[in-house]
Amino acid sequence: MIEKNRLIEIRWHGRGGQGAVTSAELVAQAAISEGKYAHAFPSFGPERRGAPVLAFVRISSREPIRIRAEITQPDIVVVLDPGLLGIINVTSGLKENGVLVINTRRSFEDIEARFKTKCKLAKVDATSIAREILGIPVTNTTMVGALVRATGVVKLESLVEPLRQRFDRLAERNIKVMQKAYEETMVKE
């Protein structure tokens, strides 16, 4: 688990339309509901569906967050789209002993051979879970469940209300994919 008494920085990698920005916002809202300080913000390149997108979250349990710059040395990296693994160095700047949470079917051995980094690994087939429950391969809420399982950065139950507010009539299915991903995420220290 991530140490709770310091600033935690999370970088999300996805593609436009996959919900990386939404994921970051949901986690920040959950942290705030737990009495922590948090903020989330996006970074867009060419603003089009399918283009690589970054989103960021900072969480502090002790003091307000004054930093507004992009996160270049994250404690945690979350990858929504496994196709990005071949085109972007998602582990760039990841702190030693950080956490890498990936939407993938690959084995831990394949992931370790590819990244050669000393980090905690977590993986889940978020795309299959999303297709099964949502009917579409949008992995944002699925990967939120994986993040919580791998790090405990917020409580799973703290995400329920932000999901209800964000998704309205689709909330229950998004809660279900988050919970299933939480249960199915495999973690290797």
Q: What is the pTM of this model?
A: 0.94
Q: Which neighbouring-strand residues pair with 42? A: 55
- Distances from the Cα of 158 to the Cαs of 33, 149, 151, 161, in angstroms? 7, 13, 14, 7
User: pLDDT tens digit string along 149-184?
Assistant: 999 999 999 999 999 999 999 999 999 999 999 999
Mean pLDDT, residues 140-152: 97
User: pLDDT tens digit string along 26-66?
Assistant: 999 999 999 999 999 998 665 566 778 899 999 999 899 99
- Distances from the Cα of 16 to the Cαs of 64, 81, 189, in angstroms? 30, 10, 31
Residue 3 inside a domain? The answer is: no
Mean pLDDT, residues 72-95: 93
Residue 81 inside a domain? The answer is: yes
E strands, 47-92, are 52-60, 76-79
Mean pLDDT, residues 11-29: 94
Residue 1 inside a domain? The answer is: no
What single string gives the DSSP state of each residue in 2-43? Answer: --SSS-EEEEEEEETTS-HHHHHHHHHHHHHHTT-EEEEEEE
Number of compact structural domains in the chain? 1
Cα angle 82-84-86, degrees, rounded to a multiple of 5 = 100
19-28, 63-72, 99-108, 110-119: least confident range: 110-119
Predicted confidence band of residue 115 (pLDDT cuts 50, 70, 90): confident
Question: Which residue range(s) make up the domain with 171?
Answer: 8-188
Residue 2 inside a domain? The answer is: no
For residue 144, the domain's CATH number is: 3.40.920.10
Nearest to 178 by CA among 64, 166, 60: 166
Nearest to 93 by CA among 112, 69, 122, 117: 117
Cα angle 151-26-173, degrees, rounded to a multiple of 5 = 95
- Predicted local distance difference test score (pLDDT) of residue 8: 97
Residue 107 inside a domain? The answer is: yes
Residue 136 inside a domain? The answer is: yes
Residue 23 inside a domain? The answer is: yes
Mean pLDDT, residues 109-128: 90
Residue 94 inside a domain? The answer is: yes
Mean pLDDT, residues 16-32: 94
